[in-house]
Amino acid sequence: MLFHKVKKDLVLSSMKTLLKIQKDFKKKFGVDDIFGNSKVFEIVIANRLGHILIPGHSGSRDVKDNDGNIYEYKHFKESSSNHSWTFNDYSKMIFNKMSEENYSIIFAHMDDTNGLPRKDFNQHKPKIIKYPELDWFYQIPGILMSEYLSEKTEKIVNARKMINVSCRQIETYFDKQCNYKKYPSVNFEDGLYSNDLILIFNVIKHLENETKVVNLLTSNKIWELITSVHLNHNVNPEQGGRRGAHDAYDEENNQYEYKISKSKSWNFQDISEEVLRKYESVEEFILATKNVDTLSIDKIYCCNKELINKIRLKMKKKEEKFQKEGRTLRRRQISLTKSDIAPYITREISA
């Protein structure tokens, strides 16, 4: 892979600009940590639907309208390989709450390809790419969505408890009162959050152009970028990584796997022998702690490949524990603490 000169000063300076935007946003709207977990896309949707953001992340609803009606957002981007909406870790308790509270589910489609189908966009990528925008959406009452999910998940056997919902499923299952696409009624420039979004997108576009890393607002990509500049690494430019590739690489094309957390505990998900074999190709594991309040990385721990043995051992112990207790292992994931990784640390960096 082509290695690009690391522009550490540019990245860190841009983080200061984004931090100011985040602090101002919190003062105005009470919402913090807007650059992680694809939060910005929720702001984009709310901006076009005239909704008001509800402070909080996982476990809370996303927005409300001026009449106090509550909504939960699901979205996918046109550039994504998965054109459906995902419900993870569902349970009867969640379905009951969805029904009792009867908040509406917004299934949103994000146009991040200049209005082109994903395939056409990838083949003939425009020189100027427009800001991601809400294109169309479905709106399903919670009580109806609860009925649908309860019925469709009865026969699902995957331990992870995950279900995807597609356009076809919505249009086939629900009646004509809510099975059709709706379109945003608020112009972007008239939205409550439009000025803030313009500021964010201007900085992000500049960063993406200069670093060659795309999708910085998706998942935790921006945190990978901040970490990489302290190590003279390049972040893999493709969201999700190329097949067989890891999160970052150096000038010699050595590969690195990144895990970034608020605390000194890092999650490893979907652990299988295939994943563990993939880890064999890394030069090091990079485990970092992030500071959301300062939009910076506090500490970086570089660990050798022997960490794979610890991951395998901890996963095995978890399997044995669940089997002994007669419980179903829903997710093949473990967490490693600072004490877990201590024997494998080759160097520590205070960023």
Q: Which of 242, 214, 336, 332 is nearest to 286 (CA)?
A: 336
Convert the pLDDT of each residue in 240-253 to its tens digit.
Answer: 544 457 999 999 99
**This prediction's pTM:** 0.90
Report the distance separating Cα 153 and Cα 313, nearest Å.
32
Residues 6+ apart with CB under 8 A from 255: 245, 246, 248, 249, 281, 282, 283
Phi-psi region of 284 (alpha: psi -120 to 50; beta: other; left: phi over 0): beta
Compare 180 and 220 and report the one with higher pLDDT: 180
Convert the pLDDT of each residue in 274-310 to its tens digit.
Answer: 999 999 999 999 999 999 999 999 999 999 999 999 9
85-88 and 162-165: which strand pairing?
antiparallel
Burial class of 303 by CB neighbour count within 10 A (0 to 12, 13 to 18, 19+): buried
Q: Which of 350, 215, 235 is nearest to 296 (CA)?
A: 350
Report the distance separating Cα 177 and Cα 112, nearest Å.
28
What local confidence, expressed as pLDDT, does residue 60 receive? 63
Average pLDDT over residues 11-29: 97
What local confidence, expressed as pLDDT, does residue 239 receive? 47
Report the distance separating Cα 255 and Cα 244, nearest Å.
10
Domains along the chain with CATH numbers: 31-186 (3.40.210), 213-350 (3.40.210.10)
Q: Which of 199, 319, 340 is nearest to 271 (CA)?
A: 319
Number of other residues whose CB lies within 10 A of the CB of residue 112: 23
| pLDDT above 60 (res 2) | yes
| pLDDT above 70 (res 216) | yes
Q: Share the mean pLDDT of the chain.
A: 92
Burial class of 338 by CB neighbour count within 10 A (0 to 12, 13 to 18, 19+): middle
Report the distance separating Cα 213 and Cα 203, nearest Å.
13
Backbone CA torsion sign across 163, 171, 44, 142 = negative
Q: Which of 176-180, 268-272, 312-316, 329-333 has the lowest mean pLDDT?
A: 329-333
Task: Report yes or no: 259 and 268 within 8 Å, Cβ to Cβ.
Answer: yes
What local confidence, expressed as pLDDT, does residue 56 receive? 66
Q: Which of 75-89, 124-138, 148-162 has the lowest mean pLDDT?
A: 148-162
Convert the pLDDT of each residue in 170-191 to its tens digit.
Answer: 999 999 989 999 999 999 999 9
Residue 173 has which token pair? 């299952």
Report the distance separating Cα 223 and Cα 292, nearest Å.
10
